[in-house]
Amino acid sequence: MKPLTRPPRLAPGARVAVVAPSGPVPEERVQAGLDVLRGWDLDPVVMPHVLDRHGELGYLAGTDADRAADLQNAWCDPSVAAVLCARGGYGAQRMADLVDWDGLRAAGPKVFLGFSDVTHLHQAFATRLGLVTLYGPVAAGIDFIKSTRAQEHLKATLFAPETVRTIATSGTALVPGRARGVTLGGYLGGLAADLGTPLARTGARGGLLMIEDVTELPYRIDRLLTQLLRSGWLDGVAGIGLGSWERCGPYEEVRAVLADRLGGLGVPVCEEMGFGHCADALTIPFGAEAELDADAGTLTLAEPALS
């Protein structure tokens, strides 16, 4: 697994587009996120279908075609330096095949940010565009709006990525050791759901897998990890960083599953690294060469996430 192309960092005054590829977004949350972006001296634009709601399927922000068109048009607009997802939820995998990925590749590299259900698009940006992406707070998310720590880490990653080459977390070793590789990952359920689909990575060989999830009970986390193990997707993984497991049940039960399913891989595993569906979430670049130190709880990038 090779490092991917790093998009340019943002500069004051940069235009950024907000899209909603998954679930519907409350207008007041969008407006609060825009206020944060303007406070960073950015020029945010909201794509036309961000506030839509699907007529029959209320868990989707508009139709698949409209959500795909918003992503397509935002990315292919030469005045836009970054595309920020408004939220996760569900729906990105429904629209991913409607995107003209050749057209996005021709538009050149730029920043892409989101987490949770946006995992499906992170995979596509890696396989179709060969581009480093950022797994971090969404533009209408509570962390993006209210968490000083999440805001500061994301802002530093966007504007001064050399200052966050080492991502220091409160993580501890589930399996001790150090490992080098290229970061990849997202939410566990999404990675399992992507198996065998045309836009997904075919495996984690040589990678540092960064995973987390929300509202999955321990037995379901077991099932998802077992699916990845049985499919061979985890063969050759170099190391694993574990983020948050919010509302997944008592953490000691979740931890027992993680140790049981991942401990036998013989690679370093760091737990509670503070990214994903948790308060004060850190931003993790995907597609970047890095070293994971499970004992120290750090992820150190070989180069800044953005150029």
Q: What is the DSSP letter of 196?
A: T
Q: Catalytic residue among 120, 212, 272, 291, which?
A: 212
What is the spatial distance between Cα 110 and Cα 102, in angstroms, rounded to a whole number?
A: 15
Helix (H) or strand (E) holding 244, with range, is: strand 239-246
What is the spatial distance between Cα 254 and Cα 234, in angstroms, rounded to a whole number?
A: 19
Q: Catalytic residue among 49, 272, 277, 291, which?
A: 277
Q: Catalytic residue among 22, 49, 116, 272, which?
A: 116
Output the six-digit token pair for 59. 């868990």
277 as an active site residue: the answer is yes
For CA atoms 261, 190, 214, 132, give the dihedral sign: positive
Residue 168 CB-density burial (10 A; 0-12 exposed, 13-18 middle, 19+ buried):
middle
307 as an active site residue: the answer is no
212 as an active site residue: the answer is yes
For the chain, what percentages of helix, strand and coil (3-state, to nearest 5) are there? Answer: 35, 25, 40
Q: Judge contact between 21 and 118, C-beta under 8 A.
A: yes
- φ, ψ dihedrals at 184, nearest 5°: -160, 170
Catalytic residues, by residue number, are 116, 212, 277
